[in-house]
Amino acid sequence: MNKIFQNKYILVLGILAIIAAGISIYAFAAKSYSGNINKNPGTNNQELQPSPNKPQTSDNTNNTNNSNNQETQPQVTPIKEYKVKGVYLTGWSAGTEKTINHFINLLNRTELNTLVIDVKDDKGRVSYKSDVPLVNEIKSSQSMIKDIKSLLKKLKDNKIHTIARIVVFKDPVLGEKRPDLAIKTVKGQLWRDRNHAAWLNAYNKDSWRYSIDLAKEAAQLGFDEIQFDYIRFPTDGNVKIIDYGSLSSGIDKTKPINEFLAQAKKELTPFGVPVSADVFGIITTNIGDVEKIGQDLETISKDIDYISPMVYPSHYGSGQYGISKPDLEPYKIVYKSLSTAKARLDKLPDHKAKIRPYLQDFSAPWLGKGNYKKYNAEDVKTQIKAAYDSGLDEWILWNASNKYSESAFLSE
């Protein structure tokens, strides 16, 4: 009896030992599996538990590709100095294969090294299919450039410097679609200039966002520089009936213009691109904002990298600088304007912007017979010489039709 009991007792102990061993093995395996998840997260685990620093954008929310993340959160890189010798192109010119190939060839064989390309023009049209939400909301894209990324790659492959031109406050498309952002009349109606174009109200900071977002997108796409144009208040049309609203009360026009540029520069700094602004040529010699457009030489140059005075001789009035017919004296006009501006800015301890002028490569028959001449390569060379004699070493030529005096450029 004792023997039988002893055998049963041994059998029970054996069964209990087997059960205990099984429980231990299960616990060890579960612990090891849990540890492996925490130490070596896989792709699926990353998607379920995204990093709190992962950028949340419409394009990259579910995309963990490194290159895309770098585009969304670019590294801060120092701005590289580049001696620009360039010409301006419309979106249509840049997007037409025959035309852009012509300019690539021109730049490859001459001293030219830069193309200024419209991203948003003075008709409010965006030149390519943009991902900026407001562009799609107001349907401002014209797709003049079918594939902006391919175009920029092509230009980079040819070592061509690219500048994105963005017209800011003259915007007939946004102004009409979003009148809350536009300039109004004293009667509360939408104000329009003499060409029936609406303008954005620079005093309203909500009107800034559109151009800054486009600028950031252009930088992200690969443009080497951002250039803001029409960075001013309107001058043509019946400006006497304008009401800028309560936001303008007691505030000088230069303040919102300068603050816009400072804000744009701040937001573009992570992209490492220079920021420039086109300004009236006359501010180079005016003291203060004489034209009431919000542009003062000393203050507008404070926060950005370049200013581009449009020192077109045709745009100066009779008698300016003691010259009765300015369009006939391109050297004198350009030299006086630029040398004066450089001397003024050189005196300022905290000014930042360098001067890079826009020069005239077009004729101005609207001035009337005897008051203008047909501009040619010699007139272009004369203006470039005036810029150099003023102590400057960069320039851009303007012709709205993109027909340039190509023989004016030195061969390389």
Q: What is the pLDDT of residues 330-362, one digit of tens each?
A: 999 999 999 999 999 999 987 789 999 999 999
Chain centroid to Cα 343, Å, comes to 28
Whole-number pLDDT of residue 9 = 43
Do 328 and 265 share a structural domain? yes
Do 150 and 16 share a structural domain? no
In this prediction, residues 304-318 reach a mean pLDDT of 97
Q: How many domains does the chain divide into? A: 2
Query: What's the pLDDT band for 76 if we cut at 50, 70, 90?
Result: low
193 domain-assigned: yes
- Looking at the predicted structure, is the pLDDT value of residue 139 above 60? yes
Q: What is the pLDDT of residues 98-125, one digit of tens each?
A: 999 999 999 999 999 999 999 999 999 9
Contact 168, 231 (CB under 8 A): yes
Mean pLDDT: which of 19-23, 57-61, 279-283 is highest? Answer: 279-283
12 domain-assigned: yes
Do 106 and 32 share a structural domain? no
Do 229 and 346 share a structural domain? yes
Whole-number pLDDT of residue 81 = 76
Do 382 and 285 share a structural domain? yes
Please name the residues in contact with 112: beta carbons below 8 A apart, sequence gap of 6 or more.
Answer: 85, 86, 87, 106, 409
Do 370 and 259 share a structural domain? yes
Helices 209-221 and 148-157, packing angle to 10 deg? 50
48 domain-assigned: no
- Looking at the predicted structure, is the pLDDT value of residue 304 above 60? yes
Whole-number pLDDT of residue 85 = 98
d(CA 376, CA 370): 17
72 domain-assigned: no
- Looking at the predicted structure, is the pLDDT value of residue 42 above 70? no
Tell me the whole-structure pTM to 2 decimals: 0.81
Whole-number pLDDT of residue 11 = 44
Q: What is the pLDDT of residues 180-207, one digit of tens each?
A: 999 999 999 999 999 999 999 999 999 9
- Looking at the predicted structure, is the pLDDT value of residue 223 above 60? yes
71 domain-assigned: no
Do 93 and 34 share a structural domain? no
Whole-number pLDDT of residue 41 = 31
Question: Which of 5-19, 45-59, 348-362 is least confident?
Answer: 45-59
Whole-number pLDDT of residue 203 = 98
Cα distances (Å, whole numbers) of residue 119 to 100, 145, 261, 270, 395: 15, 10, 17, 20, 20
46 domain-assigned: no
In this prediction, residues 151-177 reach a mean pLDDT of 98
- Kindly report the number of other CB atoms within 10 A of residue 224's CB atom: 23
Whole-number pLDDT of residue 75 = 54
Query: What's the pLDDT band for 64 if we cut at 50, 70, 90?
Result: very low
Query: What's the pLDDT band for 78 if we cut at 50, 70, 90?
Result: low
Do 96 and 6 share a structural domain? no
The answer for 402, left when phi > 0, alpha when psi is -120 to 50, beta otherwise, is left
Whole-number pLDDT of residue 341 = 97
DSSP state of 232: S
Do 89 and 34 share a structural domain? no
CATH number of the domain bearing residue 135: 3.20.20.80
In this prediction, residues 79-101 reach a mean pLDDT of 94
- Looking at the predicted structure, is the pLDDT value of residue 65 above 80? no
Candidates 246, 242, 124, 249; CA nearest to 189 is: 242
- Looking at the predicted structure, is the pLDDT value of residue 325 above 50? yes
Do 117 and 6 share a structural domain? no
Question: Which residue range(s) make up the domain with 147?
Answer: 85-408
172 domain-assigned: yes
Do 148 and 231 share a structural domain? yes
Please name the residues in contact with 107: beta carbons below 8 A apart, sequence gap of 6 or more.
Answer: 113, 114, 115, 158, 160
Do 148 and 6 share a structural domain? no
57 domain-assigned: no
Query: Which two structure tokens, joined as six digits, stand for 43?
Result: 């792709």
Cα distances (Å, whole numbers) of residue 363 to 129, 366, 375, 403: 33, 9, 5, 11
Q: Residue 140's beta-bridge partner residues?
A: none
Whole-number pLDDT of residue 37 = 31
d(CA 41, CA 43): 7
